[in-house]
Amino acid sequence: MDLRILIVEDSETTRRIIRAILETREWKICGEAKNGQTAIRQFRKLRPDVVILDFTMPALSGIEVAARLSKIDPLVPLILFTISEVDELYEAARGAGIYAVVSKARAWDLIGTIESAITHLSDLGQPIQ
Protein backbone atom coordinates (compact mmCIF):
# COMPACT_ATOMS: atom_id res chain seq x y z
CA MET A 1 0.00 0.00 0.00
CA ASP A 2 1.36 3.41 -0.97
CA LEU A 3 0.36 5.22 2.19
CA ARG A 4 1.39 8.88 2.20
CA ILE A 5 2.10 10.42 5.61
CA LEU A 6 2.65 14.05 6.60
CA ILE A 7 4.71 14.56 9.79
CA VAL A 8 4.07 17.79 11.72
CA GLU A 9 6.62 18.21 14.51
CA ASP A 10 8.77 21.16 15.54
CA SER A 11 11.68 18.98 16.73
CA GLU A 12 13.93 17.75 13.93
CA THR A 13 15.14 14.91 16.15
CA THR A 14 11.59 13.70 16.77
CA ARG A 15 10.78 13.97 13.06
CA ARG A 16 13.77 11.69 12.36
CA ILE A 17 12.56 9.19 14.97
CA ILE A 18 9.05 9.15 13.50
CA ARG A 19 10.46 8.75 10.00
CA ALA A 20 12.67 5.83 11.14
CA ILE A 21 9.72 4.07 12.77
CA LEU A 22 7.45 4.53 9.78
CA GLU A 23 10.08 3.49 7.27
CA THR A 24 9.94 -0.01 8.76
CA ARG A 25 6.73 -0.23 6.72
CA GLU A 26 6.28 0.47 3.02
CA TRP A 27 4.83 3.88 3.73
CA LYS A 28 6.00 7.13 2.21
CA ILE A 29 6.70 10.30 4.16
CA CYS A 30 5.25 12.75 1.63
CA GLY A 31 6.18 15.82 3.66
CA GLU A 32 7.27 17.34 6.93
CA ALA A 33 6.32 20.56 8.66
CA LYS A 34 7.80 22.15 11.75
CA ASN A 35 4.85 24.40 12.56
CA GLY A 36 1.10 24.59 12.10
CA GLN A 37 1.00 27.15 9.31
CA THR A 38 3.38 25.10 7.18
CA ALA A 39 1.37 21.98 8.00
CA ILE A 40 -1.83 23.51 6.66
CA ARG A 41 -0.11 24.55 3.41
CA GLN A 42 1.52 21.11 3.05
CA PHE A 43 -1.80 19.37 3.74
CA ARG A 44 -3.53 21.28 0.95
CA LYS A 45 -0.66 20.75 -1.47
CA LEU A 46 0.29 17.12 -0.75
CA ARG A 47 -3.10 15.58 0.16
CA PRO A 48 -1.62 12.97 2.56
CA ASP A 49 -3.48 9.85 3.63
CA VAL A 50 -2.51 10.29 7.31
CA VAL A 51 -1.13 13.18 9.38
CA ILE A 52 0.93 12.82 12.54
CA LEU A 53 0.74 15.99 14.64
CA ASP A 54 2.82 17.13 17.58
CA PHE A 55 0.71 18.66 20.34
CA THR A 56 3.06 21.44 21.49
CA MET A 57 4.31 23.66 18.66
CA PRO A 58 4.92 27.38 18.29
CA ALA A 59 1.93 29.55 17.33
CA LEU A 60 -0.65 26.77 16.75
CA SER A 61 -1.03 23.64 18.86
CA GLY A 62 -1.60 20.26 17.26
CA ILE A 63 -5.24 20.45 18.30
CA GLU A 64 -5.67 23.84 16.63
CA VAL A 65 -4.02 22.54 13.46
CA ALA A 66 -6.19 19.41 13.55
CA ALA A 67 -9.36 21.48 13.73
CA ARG A 68 -8.30 23.37 10.60
CA LEU A 69 -7.22 20.25 8.72
CA SER A 70 -10.49 18.51 9.60
CA LYS A 71 -12.40 21.34 7.94
CA ILE A 72 -10.35 20.88 4.77
CA ASP A 73 -10.75 17.09 4.64
CA PRO A 74 -12.46 15.33 7.54
CA LEU A 75 -11.67 11.85 6.19
CA VAL A 76 -7.89 12.09 6.61
CA PRO A 77 -6.91 10.42 9.90
CA LEU A 78 -5.09 12.81 12.22
CA ILE A 79 -2.93 11.30 14.95
CA LEU A 80 -1.78 13.47 17.84
CA PHE A 81 1.71 12.46 18.99
CA THR A 82 2.55 13.95 22.36
CA ILE A 83 4.66 13.85 25.48
CA SER A 84 1.68 15.26 27.40
CA GLU A 85 -0.72 13.06 29.36
CA VAL A 86 -2.80 11.29 26.72
CA ASP A 87 -5.97 10.88 28.84
CA GLU A 88 -6.13 14.62 29.54
CA LEU A 89 -6.07 15.46 25.81
CA TYR A 90 -8.51 12.86 24.59
CA GLU A 91 -11.71 14.94 24.71
CA ALA A 92 -10.17 18.05 23.13
CA ALA A 93 -8.48 15.90 20.51
CA ARG A 94 -11.74 14.20 19.52
CA GLY A 95 -13.46 17.56 19.30
CA ALA A 96 -10.81 18.72 16.82
CA GLY A 97 -11.25 15.67 14.59
CA ILE A 98 -8.24 13.72 15.81
CA TYR A 99 -8.53 9.97 15.26
CA ALA A 100 -6.13 8.92 18.05
CA VAL A 101 -3.65 10.22 20.60
CA VAL A 102 -0.31 8.41 20.92
CA SER A 103 2.24 9.03 23.65
CA LYS A 104 5.80 9.75 22.54
CA ALA A 105 6.85 7.33 25.27
CA ARG A 106 5.13 4.63 23.17
CA ALA A 107 6.33 5.76 19.74
CA TRP A 108 6.13 2.28 18.21
CA ASP A 109 2.37 2.40 18.79
CA LEU A 110 2.22 4.75 15.79
CA ILE A 111 2.36 1.76 13.45
CA GLY A 112 -0.66 0.01 14.96
CA THR A 113 -2.56 3.28 15.24
CA ILE A 114 -2.01 4.08 11.56
CA GLU A 115 -3.03 0.56 10.56
CA SER A 116 -6.18 0.90 12.67
CA ALA A 117 -7.02 4.25 11.04
CA ILE A 118 -6.61 2.77 7.56
CA THR A 119 -8.76 -0.22 8.46
CA HIS A 120 -11.41 2.12 9.85
CA LEU A 121 -11.47 4.09 6.57
CA SER A 122 -11.72 0.88 4.56
CA ASP A 123 -14.62 -0.27 6.72
CA LEU A 124 -16.35 3.02 5.89
CA GLY A 125 -15.78 2.38 2.19
CA GLN A 126 -13.22 5.19 1.87
CA PRO A 127 -10.27 4.22 -0.31
CA ILE A 128 -6.78 5.52 0.38
CA GLN A 129 -5.77 7.91 -2.37
> For the domain that residue 25 is a member of, what is the CATH number?
3.40.50.2300
At residue 123, the pLDDT reads 67
**Average per-residue pLDDT for the chain:** 90
Average pLDDT over residues 108-124: 86
- How confident is the model at residue 24, as a pLDDT? 87
Is 129 within the bounds of a domain? no
> What is the C-alpha separation between 36 and 39, in angstroms, rounded?
5
Q: In a 3-state reduction of DSSP, which class is residue 34?
A: coil
CB 63 within 8 A of CB 55: yes
Domain that holds residue 118: 4-123
Quote the number of domains for the chain.
1
Strand partners, 50: 5
Tell whether the model's pLDDT for residue 63 goes beyond 70. yes
Letter for the amino acid at 27?
Answer: W
Residue 128 lies in a domain: no
